[in-house]
Amino acid sequence: MVMLTSGIVAVTVVIVGLLILVELRKQRMDAQMLGLLATFASVAKEVRSDPRLLLAYYPVAVAARRCFPEAFAALEQPQSQSFPFGSQEIEEAHARWTAEWLDWERNHESEYRRKAAALNAELVTATDARIPGLRTELEAVEQQKLDLYQHRYEEYVGVSRALAKLTDVPVGQGANGDGYKSAKPV
């Protein structure tokens, strides 16, 4: 009888221990998921306002995915897309970046066209002494226009290429060869 009681107590202790272990693992998973949600919820909002931020946060998301693969899988379960940045978010960021560039380019051209027109109008009525100075100003405005355009275009191309690379990840591979379930891993 004592052995039966001892056996029942031992089995009960093992079962209770397993239940505690399962609950602790569940709590750890919940904490990881809450941490990831807290970290990347504000990031996702920021990325919508500035597509360049996606390039800064993407490596962080890749590293977090390596550290907490089960938590990422659980977060992705209900939506069947990569968390926090799926292909749709990457494509939207690229489209937004391109739209912003086109808007900037149009405004830039318009602004410098107005500046040049004002100087050209002054040239028409200028005195002989003022003409060389106005021509120098006009050349400076044209150079400033080209320099600013070149700088901004280099930035546009660099960010565009980097965003495009995020969508070129093969299915089942992350940016560094670590396995993901979709073509757009993070």
Q: Which of 36, 59, 85 is the last residue of a domain?
A: 85
Helix/strand/coil (H/E/C) assignment for every residue in 99-135:
HHHHHHHHHHHHHHHHHHHHHHHHHHHCCCCCHHHHH
Tell me: the pLDDT tens digits for 46-73?
988 899 999 999 999 999 999 999 999 8
Q: Which of 54, 85, 116 is the last residue of a domain?
A: 85
Q: Which range marks the domain in which residue 66 is found?
A: 2-85
pLDDT grade for 160, boundaries at 50, 70 and 90? very high
Contact 54, 93 (CB under 8 A): yes
Tell me: the pLDDT tens digits for 86-141?
888 899 999 999 999 999 999 999 999 999 999 999 999 999 999 999 999 999 99
Contact 173, 185 (CB under 8 A): yes
Tell me: the pLDDT tens digits for 11-44?
899 998 998 998 988 889 889 999 999 989 888 8
Q: What is the pTM of this model?
A: 0.72
pLDDT of 182 above 50 = no
Look at residue 174 and tell me if it is in a domain: no
61 and 29 fall within a common domain: yes
Within 10 Å of residue 163's Cβ, how many Cβ atoms?
Answer: 22
Domain count, the chain: 2
77 and 95 fall within a common domain: no
